[in-house]
Amino acid sequence: MDPYSSLKLENQLCFPLYAAAKEVVRLYTPYLDEIGLTYTQYIAMMLVWEKKEIVVKDLAQRLFLDTGTLTPLLKKLEAKGVVSLTRAPKDKRSVVVALTPQGQALRNKAAAIPAQVGQCLPLKPQEAQQLYTTLYKLLGKLTQ
Amino acid sequence: MDPYSSLKLENQLCFPLYAAAKEVVRLYTPYLDEIGLTYTQYIAMMLVWEKKEIVVKDLAQRLFLDTGTLTPLLKKLEAKGVVSLTRAPKDKRSVVVALTPQGQALRNKAAAIPAQVGQCLPLKPQEAQQLYTTLYKLLGKLTQ
DNA sequence: ATATAATACATTGTATACAATGTATTATAT
DNA sequence: ATATAATACATTGTATACAATGTATTATAT
């Protein structure tokens, strides 16, 4: 019996998770390139598209990212003109990320991406559903 | 019917994958800090521990990483003294990553980590198994 | 009312991650 | 045998990702 078998890469759950996440992000890249977003910018925009306005704190919480990542990323989105950044009048510590007309226009370009990428994901609907459920369960437990 | 529903973060499979991977890596960090490795260094060392010697090309293939990531990472592992890097005599384009005595010693320190982290992973054995299988299926299809 | 704590974000420093490009070596076609 | 292609790795540039720390603002305790 190999005393180190638990240290084998193939016996780790973390590794396929890490690698699959990277490969799926890479799958998005050519489509995202066309609309000028990175993957992280894309998931941030998804929340802005949905909420129209969202405070950095909430964005950070929903995306599991901290301000060290978000602050520079949001400045880039602002530079592209797809969001505006303003201090909240009620609480000047907060920064409101708001959708601009250009950001709304970008949404139309992005609308086709989920279907395009989805077709490249080689999972049956039931497998995808199960993966989704398990991952959210994991996420919920890991971040409480 | 919302024409943008597919663009909602909560309807994406990629997002929980991306976020869960990050959170699981974060779960490793305190344990890896104790032995002075980053997560990526750790998965690289797993292959070195298993193979004793492995060429950069094979390492890249197994880890789904390219040389832009691996070259500097391997130089850091070399600086720590846990691997040696030498050009292969048979093919001077290849670089052989070999385990050193210090690298072997590090393996003993690392041996406890999988069990420690495993206890923090809130999944039943059957769920973990299913997740593992689905992720490898996904990886296999994505990288062929 | 005011000192203190907590909050929200910004900044700094370190470490990936990868596309694009460069370079030395080896394999292949003729 | 030699020009050309392919291979393996290195380098450069851009973009995260996050721990640690700093700063302005707000909440709280007394």
Of A7, A9, A135, the CB nearest to B20: A135
A103 located within any domain: yes
B1 pLDDT band, cuts 50/70/90, is low
Q: Is residue B144 part of a domain?
A: no
Query: Does residue B86 carry a pLDDT above 70?
Result: yes
Instruction: For residues B88 and B97, give the distance between their C-alpha atoms in angstroms, rounded to a whole number.
Output: 10
Residue A5 included in any domain: no
In a domain, A6, yes or no: no
CA atoms within 13 A on the CB side of A70: 21
pLDDT digits (tens, 9 = 90+) for A12-47: 999 999 999 999 999 999 999 999 999 999 999 999
The total domain count for chain B is 1
pLDDT in tens, A64-117: 999 999 999 999 999 999 999 999 999 999 999 999 999 999 999 999 999 999
Cβ pair B142:A20 closer than 8 A: yes
Residue B18 belongs to a domain: yes
Who among B16, B120, B136 is closest to A135 (CB)?
A: B16
pLDDT value of residue B40: 98
Q: State the residue range of the domain holding A130.
A: 12-142
B6 belongs to a structural domain:
no
**Which of B11, B13, B126, B130 should we substitute to test contact with A (largest number of A Cβ atoms within 10 Å)?**
B13
Q: Torsions phi, psi of B92, nearest 5?
A: -70, 0
Q: Within a domain: residue B60?
A: yes
pLDDT over threshold 70, residue A1 = no
Residue B9 falls inside a structural domain? no
* CATH, residue B108: 1.10.10.10
User: In this structure, what token pair is assigned to residue A39?
Assistant: 């993957």
For chain B, the average pLDDT equals 95
